[in-house]
Structure 1
Amino acid sequence: MSARSEPGGYDLVVRSRRAVLPDGPRPAAVCVRAGRIAAIEEYDAIGGHDLGEVTLLPGLVDTHVHVNEPGRTEWEGFASATRAALAGGVTTIVDMPLNSLPPTVTVDALAVKRAAATGQIHVDVGFWGGAVPGNAGDLPRLHAAGVFGFKAFLIDSGVPEFPPLDPAGLAEALEAVDALYVVHAEDPTEVADPPASRRYSDFLSSRPPAAERRAVGAVVDVARRTGGRVHILHLSAADALPLLAQARAAGVRVSAETCPHYLTLAADEVPDGATEFKCCPPIRGSGNRERLWAGLAAGLVDCVVSDHSPCTPALKCGDTGDFAAAWGGIASVQLGLPVVWTAARRRGHPLTDVVRWMATSPAALVGLRRKGRIAVGCDADLVAFDPEAPFTVDPAALHHRHPTTPYAGQVLTGVVRATWLRGVPVTPGGPPQGRLLDRSGE
């Protein structure tokens, strides 16, 4: 498409009778100039690319993605992870500081990560830094270099080069620089070593809700004492929701996220040996799942993000089905939108809720003011989404490096029909058009 080829002198005009705007869905024409939304007109006021009844969404923002490159690129990589994101309507990701080698715990390591991503990303990509024992002095420099905040574990991370912090170490990190700290909150004193077993229940019992509840309490206490800003990652245990409510009422700067798998899967439905369902913290029972939905509806949970955490098939131990030995992580960045939408609509949630949880709120969490909304001045990251179209999940159709998924064979609703990144039409099979982002959004 040549510049200024659309009506009104715009680079692009996309019209939809169901555009999801900040003030609600309505017919609209979204007009783009120089990569940003320049105007939003009435649907019939101007010509352009007409979606008709297909819904127009802002591109999703996934702030919890493990790309693993460099160092463990055989698990995933920037090219494959961002192709999968693009196929799922995600136009911005923020990459976690592990499981790459080196982990992103110094400015030099961040430079290595950015160099690895350059030239092969299909969506816009930002980076988290890591807070680990002994690197508090590096955190101000990393923050100045543009990371969106810092990831910390209170429990073993699964890789030796990214050790956990205790509450005192977390407090030291929060006092090193005023930034956003995102925390894997499980208390190791409440976690047991699971026995070798093909039964999911044996693994589940080793990581009880008390592990999350106690760790969330510890994180909240550190934030209260330091005045720091914290975010609870991948909340699985609904038992922790009252702690979040109390902390917010007391003025503590705390937010939380959950993930598609915690909102849609249930422990009693996991077959023996199906290690593709293993993640940490674990998928819990159906009653817990419904309480998470209630927390999301009440605003106690702010975001829904993927925690895309892939590995090689061998590390999933599919041959033995041993939950104790298998890597804990679910690769789902491509499927998050239809997974969440399918479950949300059954519970009476409109698509505007899904957009808030998966686009607007994650963008706000990390300060990306031009992402996650269809509004004048925002980047023209747009997704044509058919919310009524069903499809069956075929692992062979996924763009992740390895086609391992707990959603195989599920019938979901909602298909991405087209995507624009800053006003440019993009497809997973096309050339990489993504940009590297820092906290400025540039």
Structure 2
Amino acid sequence: MSIRKSFCKIAYLSSRVVLPEEDGGVQPAIIVVSDGKIEEIIRSVDEEAIKTVTNENIYLERFDSLVIMPGIVDSHVHINEPGRTDWEGFDTATRAAAAGGITTIVDMPLNSIPPTTTLENLDIKSKEALGRVFVDVGFWGGVIPGNQKELRRLIQAGVVGFKCLLCPSGVDEFPHVNIRDIELALTELQSTNSVLAFHAECELAGSLVTETSDSHFYETFLKSRPPAMEVEAIKMISSLCKKYGVRCHIVHLSASDALDVIQSAKAEGSHLTVETCHHYLNFCAEEVPKNATEFKCCPPIREKTNQNKLWRAIENGLIDMVVSDHSPSTAELKICGDFMTAWGGISSLQFGLPIMWTVARKRNLSLENVSRLLSQAPAKLCGLDGRKGKLRKGMDADLLIWDPEATIEIQESMILHKNKLTPYMGKKLFGKVVATIIRGNTVYRDGLVQDKPVGDLLLQKENRRE
């Protein structure tokens, strides 16, 4: 899949190139790439137009009416290496990402052993990843009780931001924080441009689950994590965001009841951003079968009426981005039929684009909006927007080429992440990835991932305020 070395530059031509809305949106264009960067965007499909910007020898790739979009930036991925590589790993996760049109993933700090909560632990993780990734990889740091003095060291090392949990994480090495821990962390982050991301569920007094509740039914698990857990947590986060003036981010929002709180916080000028996930936009609680623990995640998939409200919040811009929260585990931990004891995480990394597009097309969401939600906004969250998330001169030549009219059916044989368990198995979806290009390198084409890993580790301190 390598381009012949006799050509100094590469150009990619399509009648549907997704430029940022402020640059005119979808239009015919030729993207000229040199040294891994976008050198020029020619708003034409006339091949002769290339000569007006360069006289050099150019290799031209024609994609006709296929869509060329910025590579997807998935800012919420659990790679789990080192320590839990039987769940996932850098090799398998980044291969799957490449096949899904994702050019950058950002690894969450928990589920690996050790977690990314100290500079030493970041060094251990980055050494495991070095030379083994097929797409570019960034890293979140973690906030846990007592590690606030590590945060600036991790910023200097290049983490994109930090994540904490307000309730138990499910793994002993990443304990949840209380308000005192959060305020200590926010104090450390005040003079930086970093961001603190929250798993926004807090524990409530009392339980809606009784001893007679059958944990093989999804409704039992759903009652154990009511919307009020998210609402109360987001109220607290919004208040702290305003008090400290630090960028704060809500990960995997599932409860539409919290949207009014988010809207008020944003209206008051708080530096608050919000993501939701593909599974909340595609599945609803009423449809989860008995024993089908592949649907379990935290916070939980909620009712259809809740899902419709999340979609409206996406359409009106209140929810900023959509990510995978790819959180795999082994079959032993995941498929036990007991919703209260099964691992809470959903695998979907490779299929985010068609999952999103299948519903987005029905709701008349434009390609520009899909690109903003999947690429532009996550890149901005992670301080990577100077390089990633848009097709614009000077940016990394990270391109996704796909066919929005073609369909795929998810089968186990096509899944590249390590554990194949997913609630999307057998789903027929619109949107087929044809090619993935990272800094001018074609890493995936027509069903094949290239042999050589070409991904970089994004530890260049893009998020540091000078």
Q: What TM-score, normalized by structure 1, do the two folds share?
A: 0.96
Per-residue CA deviation, residues 196-237 of structure 1 (Å, 9 max, x unaligned), is: 621111101110101000000111111122222100000000
Per-residue CA deviation, residues 347-406 of structure 1 (Å, 9 max, x unaligned), is: 111121110000011001111111011110010011110000011111221101011010
**1:418 matched to which residue of 2?**
435
Greater displacement, 223-232 / 267-276: 223-232
Closer/same/farther in 2, CA of residues 30 and 190 from structure 1, 3 Å limit: farther
**1:98 matched to which residue of 2?**
110
1:23-422 → structure 2 map (5 Å cutoff): 23-41=24-42, 42-44=44-46, 45-46=49-50, 48-177=60-189, 178=192, 179-189=194-204, 192=207, 197-316=215-334, 318=335, 320-368=336-384, 369-422=386-439
SS in 2 for 1:43: coil
Closer/same/farther in 2, CA of residues 287 and 439 from structure 1, 3 Å limit: farther
Shift of 1:3: 4.1
**1:438 matched to which residue of 2?**
459
| Matched AA of 1:29 | I
Shift of 1:50: 0.4
Closer/same/farther in 2, CA of residues 173 and 439 from structure 1, 3 Å limit: farther
Q: Is the contact between residue 153 and residue 165 of structure 1 (CA under 8 Å) also seen in structure 2?
A: yes
Using the aligned pairs only, state the percent identity. Answer: 47
1:17 aligns with 2:3: no
| Matched AA of 2:412 | P
SS in 2 for 1:141: helix
Q: Is the contact between residue 148 and residue 439 of structure 1 (CA under 8 Å) also seen in structure 2?
A: no
Shift of 1:176: 1.1
| Matched AA of 1:403 | K
Q: Is the contact between residue 102 and residue 436 of structure 2 (CA under 8 Å) also seen in structure 1?
A: no
Closer/same/farther in 2, CA of residues 441 and 416 from structure 1, 3 Å limit: farther
Q: Is the contact between residue 167 and residue 219 of structure 1 (CA under 8 Å) also seen in structure 2?
A: no
Shift of 1:2: 3.4
Q: Is the contact between residue 115 and residue 121 of structure 2 (CA under 8 Å) also seen in structure 1?
A: yes
Closer/same/farther in 2, CA of residues 245 and 191 from structure 1, 3 Å limit: farther
| Matched AA of 2:101 | G
Per-residue CA deviation, residues 16-37 of structure 1 (Å, 9 max, x unaligned), is: 0101011300010000000000
Closer/same/farther in 2, CA of residues 4 and 213 from structure 1, 3 Å limit: farther
Closer/same/farther in 2, CA of residues 326 and 165 from structure 1, 3 Å limit: same
Q: Is the contact between residue 367 and residue 439 of structure 1 (CA under 8 Å) also seen in structure 2?
A: no
CA distance in 2, matches of 1:261, 1:75: 20
CA distance in 2, matches of 1:20, 1:277: 33
| Matched AA of 1:18 | R
CA distance in 2, matches of 1:3, 1:39: 20
Q: Is the contact between residue 276 and residue 330 of structure 1 (CA under 8 Å) also seen in structure 2?
A: yes
Q: Is the contact between residue 158 and residue 462 of structure 2 (CA under 8 Å) also seen in structure 1?
A: no
Shift of 1:119: 1.4
Shift of 1:82: 0.5
Number of residue pairs aligned between Structure 1 and Structure 2: 436
CA distance in 1, matches of 2:462, 2:454: 16
| Matched AA of 1:56 | I
SS in 1 for 2:230: helix
| Matched AA of 2:97 | A
Q: Is the contact between residue 60 and residue 359 of structure 1 (CA under 8 Å) also seen in structure 2?
A: yes
Q: Is the contact between residue 196 and residue 248 of structure 2 (CA under 8 Å) also seen in structure 1?
A: yes
Q: Is the contact between residue 72 and residue 100 of structure 1 (CA under 8 Å) also seen in structure 2?
A: yes
CA distance in 1, matches of 2:411, 2:208: 34
| Matched AA of 1:182 | A
Shift of 1:430: 2.2
Q: Is the contact between residue 156 and residue 461 of structure 2 (CA under 8 Å) also seen in structure 1?
A: no
- Any gaps of 5 or more consecutive residues in structure 1? none
Shift of 1:192: 4.0
- Any gaps of 5 or more consecutive residues in structure 2? 51-58
Per-residue CA deviation, residues 239-260 of structure 1 (Å, 9 max, x unaligned), is: 1111111011111111100000
Q: Is the contact between residue 36 and residue 377 of structure 1 (CA under 8 Å) also seen in structure 2?
A: yes
CA distance in 1, matches of 2:154, 2:135: 23
**2:55 matched to which residue of 1?**
none
